[in-house]
Chain A
Amino acid sequence: MRKVYVLGVGQSMFGKYKELLATELGTTAAKAAIKDAGINPKKIQVAYGSRAIEGNTAIQDIMKNVGVAEIEMNNVENACGSGITATNLLYRDIAYGIYDIGIAVGTDSMSTSNLAGKVLAPQKDIDGYLGISMPSYFALIARRLMYDYGATLEDLAYPTIKNHINGCLNPYSMYKKRLTIEDVLASPIVSDPIKVLECCPSTDGAAAVILCTEEIARQYTAKLIRMETSIIRSGCFDTPQRDIVGDRVVADMANASYEMAGIGPEDIDVIELHDAFSPEEIWAYETLGLCKKGEAISFMKSGAVDLGGKIPVNPSGGLLALGHPIAASGIRVLNEITLQLRGEAGEHQVKNAKTGLAQMVGGYVTGLVAPVAGGIQILTR
């Protein structure tokens, strides 16, 4: 297996752009990654595109705008895990010597899609017919976080307040406004106990990344950021009376990633993860091994995951403040970790970050433990 490096990262602004198509946003992101890499785009040997909504020819449509056609291109769909799935396949192509350099682009235009204004829900799925939607699913888990762990409504609001502070420091962020606890608790209920300001917005945007071999990376940059590990897993079968707080599959992926990289969670300096709903970030601290089971709330309240804390989580502003164009997010988290390790994260820079973890998950299928598609990548400087 060869080493794989991140050569270029780019994204579009995240926001609501009814006048822009998803492919236009994707082109912006692809161009930005190409410029960041400093390469002629005709060097790209393979392309993966992800677009969770309405896009089965997205990558070909995007790449034609940056002078690239005819090479192998694949469109990848895996719910919120689409972007990280695309980069995982690209990583594997390079690691196993199939290609030396490639691009992955994730884009979604939520506001021009058929989902505009609606809550995300599984389609043609038994629980979907019975009324499940993503906010309700996470609300059902948040209810148990309160019941089993003693989480209060104030505790559930902590991640969204933290991530909105971080979003103020990120120029790409959809929301650049601080929230008070009063703002959050007074906001309307979406699915109790989850409130509007605890839900990620519906966002239009795109992100792109160029990966390559060590040999190519050394030709273009002195800032070598290596993708040490990349793992994708799917939701497992449900088990009787399962504790729905936490995610065994993501925990297993995290442990496998740490083992592959020869590190432990204490060696991670910065994390970007799926915070579509504020309470979700709380049990993720335990799932990723940042603290012991049962200690997530006290760990969070100690300031450990704040921008200035021991292990900042979502310094970018996360899905909550930066925004969540579904297929872009899996690539956007990878890009953020790259910028952090390069020391290029500007006002939301985590000091001296050397090792980072990107996690992205998504999808709901009755009979499997949701999220049903997910991935973790560990990067080092």
Chain B
Amino acid sequence: MERRMFYSGVISEREGGLCVVGGKCQHCGAVSYPQKEMCHQCASESIIEIPLSPKGKLYSYTTTTRPVSNFTPPVVLGYVDLPEGVRMFGPLDLDADTELEIGMELEINICELWKEPDANGDDVSVIGYRFKAVNQLEPGGIRL
């Protein structure tokens, strides 16, 4: 099946597989996600792509009961703080018996978000990420 990234410039193929990438300013060190073209701190254009840590801490969470994006509710959503100082948002993909707790460690799981038809009506797999508990089995996870 064809696949496309849900958003450009945020998931990159690096050794070991796909990973989420941000930008690091070589002038002042500020890290941004998504990567900016000019640094948000000093406006320098010397920004390099860096892989972001695959793990972070849950900062807040909510479960929406309304359809959002191309998801069918209920959808558990959260903010996750990465050690680089960026706060990511995304859907949480947790086992039924995992309790949500602010501060818990979560892992980025690059996976299919949804399928959509292309111009010919064939299915395209749209790749993005969800957060899962560390050591949780990842049935939807994607290696290379």
Contact = CB atoms under 8 A, between A and B. Distances in A.
A126 B75 CA distance: 16
B69 A140 contact: no
Contacts of A224: none
Contacts of B41: 237
Contacts of A192: 62-63
Nearest to B35: A367
Contacts of B60: 140-141, 143-144, 147, 244
A126 B7 contact: yes
A241 B34 contact: no
Contacts of B75: 131
Instruction: Report the interface size class on chain A.
Output: 35 or more
B68 A367 contact: no
Interface string B80-114: 01000111011100000000001000000000010
Interface string A130-151: 1111011001110110010000
Interface residues of B, number: 36
Contact of B40 (A135, A193, A237): A237
A141 B128 CA distance: 24
B34 A136 contact: no
Nearest to A119: B66
A126 to B, nearest CB: 5
B65 A130 contact: no
B4 to A, nearest CB: 12
A136 B68 contact: yes
A191 B65 contact: yes
A128 interface: yes
Contact of A140 (B10, B79, B129): B79
Contacts of B33: 367
A131 B77 contact: yes
Interface string A190-229: 1111100000000000000000000000000000000000
A193 B65 CA distance: 11
Residue from A191, A192, A194 having most chain B Cβ neighbours under 10 A: A191
B40 A129 contact: no
A188 interface: yes
B115 interface: no
Interface of B: 6-7, 10, 32-34, 36, 40-41, 59-69, 71, 75, 77-79, 81, 85-87, 89-91, 102, 113, 128-129
